[in-house]
Every structure is written in C-alpha cells, then in structure tokens.
Amino acid sequence: MMTRVLQYIGQVVAYGGFIIFVGYLSAAPAYVHLQPGQAQIKLSFSHAGKPVSECRERSDEELARLAPNMRVRKVCPRERSGVAVVLEVDDKLLYSDILQPSGLKKDGTSTTYRKFTVKAGKYKIKIKLKDDFRKSTTIKDVSKLNAGDFNYTYSRKVYLGAGKIMVIDFNKEADGFVFSF
C-alpha cells in the first residue's frame, strides 16, 4: 500500500517535472536581441543599372546574315552596369560596394540588403550611387571613384528615435533615394 502511494507520488513528480521543464523553456529565459536605446538603418534596394553601352544600328550586311524574322535594325546590349553605392554617416564611411547585376548574362537587377544597428540620435546621412558604368571601366574598388562620378547623391539630417528603423530604398521612378521611418 505504502509503496503504491509512493509510486503515484513518484509519477506525479515525474509528470510535474516534465511540464515545468517544457512549460518554462517554451518561452523563457528571455533573449535580449538588441539593447535599449538602439536604432537601425536598413539600406536595401533592387535596382537595374543602365545598359553597359548605347544601342546601335546594324549595318546592311549584318542584317542580311540574320534570319528574316530576326532582322531588326536597332540592337541594345543586354548586359547592365553594376551599381556602386556608398553610405556615409556623419561623414564616416559605413558601407560601400559595387553590386553586380544578377543573371548569367548580367542583365538583371543589382540588389543589396544591409542592416546597421546604431545608437538613437541625430545623424547626417549621405548616400551616393552610380549605375552607369561602361564595360571598359570595371572598377572593383569604390574608393577609386570621385564624388563627381556618382549620378545620384543624396544627403540629409535625420533623427533616429530609440527602437526606430530607417529604411533607405532606391527608386528610379521616385528619382532617387527614398527614406522611410
């Protein structure tokens, strides 16, 4: 009788231990992902650079060599320019890169997604972009570019509140960089 009772107690303890273990670890201990007082800048866009060269007209001989249904005079290159981007915060370089176009024929968009965690506060943001490289100028290093080389430049002062995310996107239709908070 006594052992029976002890056995039941043992089973209750076993089940109890199990549900405490499962119940506790299913939502605790809390994980501190970011410190209070932090904010984030996210730079992300997907943008197709300009074609690497101008369109040109085919000569008559060239046209004659093509199949009749392919005889179009104007040819435009499919390959696109890479996109150089430079992000400076308070005049300090935060990020720079030359984003290569996607696709085997390099005819797709250049894409980036970067996340920077910063302290909340006032910042001067400067961002530059160049999307009209020619095939001949395959620059790998952004720092070799001059300020005048960029065909889009934007700078503004922002205030980033704690816990806020500022997204910098690029949109050709909107004629350049778009900041959203």
Partner 1 sequence: MLERTQRSGRRLFEWVEAGFNRIGGHRWNPFYQLGALSFFFFWIITVSGLYLYIFFRTGTTAAYESVEYLTIDQWYLGGVMRSLHRYASDAFVVTIVLHILREFFIGRYRYFRWFSWVTGVPLLWLTFAAGIGGYWLVWDSLAQYIAITTAEWLDWLPFLTDPIARNFLNQASMSDRFFSLLSFLHIAIPLFLLLGMWIHIQRMTLPRSNPTRILAVGTISALLVLSFILPATSQEPANLDNLVFTVNLDWFYLNFYPLLDKWSAGSIWALVFGVTLLLVVMPWLPPHKPEPVAVVDLENCNGCGRCFDDCPFGAVDMFPRTDNLPFSHEAVVDSALCASCGICVGSCPTATPFRRATALVPGIDMPQLKIADIRDKTVQAAEKLTGHDRVIVYGCRNGTDINRLQGSGVAVISLPCISALPPSFIDFVIARGHAEGVFLTGCQQGDCYYRLGIDWTEQRIAGLRDPALRKKVPRERVATCWSGPVGFARQKAELVSFRAQLLEMGPNRRNGAIINKTDTPDSKGG
Q: Under the rule (CB under 8 A), what is the footprint of partner 1?
A: 6-7, 10-11, 14-16, 18-19, 21-23, 25-28, 30-36, 38-40, 42, 44, 46, 102-103, 108-109, 111, 113, 115, 163-165, 167, 169, 180-181
| Phi, psi (deg, nearest 5) at residue 142 | -65, -30
With a CB cutoff of 8 Å and minimum separation 6, the contacts of 57 are 73, 74, 75
Residue closer to partner 1 by CB (options 60, 113) is 113
Distances from the Cα of 107 to the Cα of 103, 121, 144, angstroms = 6, 40, 25
| Phi, psi (deg, nearest 5) at residue 97 | -165, 160
SS3 141: coil
Residue closer to partner 1 by CB (options 1, 22) is 22
Name the minimum Å distance from CB 112 to partner 1.
8
Name the minimum Å distance from CB 34 to partner 1.
5
Residue closer to partner 1 by CB (options 1, 14) is 14
Give the H or E element holding residue 58: none
The total number of residues shown for the chain amounts to 181
Name the minimum Å distance from CB 54 to partner 1.
26
Residue closer to partner 1 by CB (options 33, 140) is 33
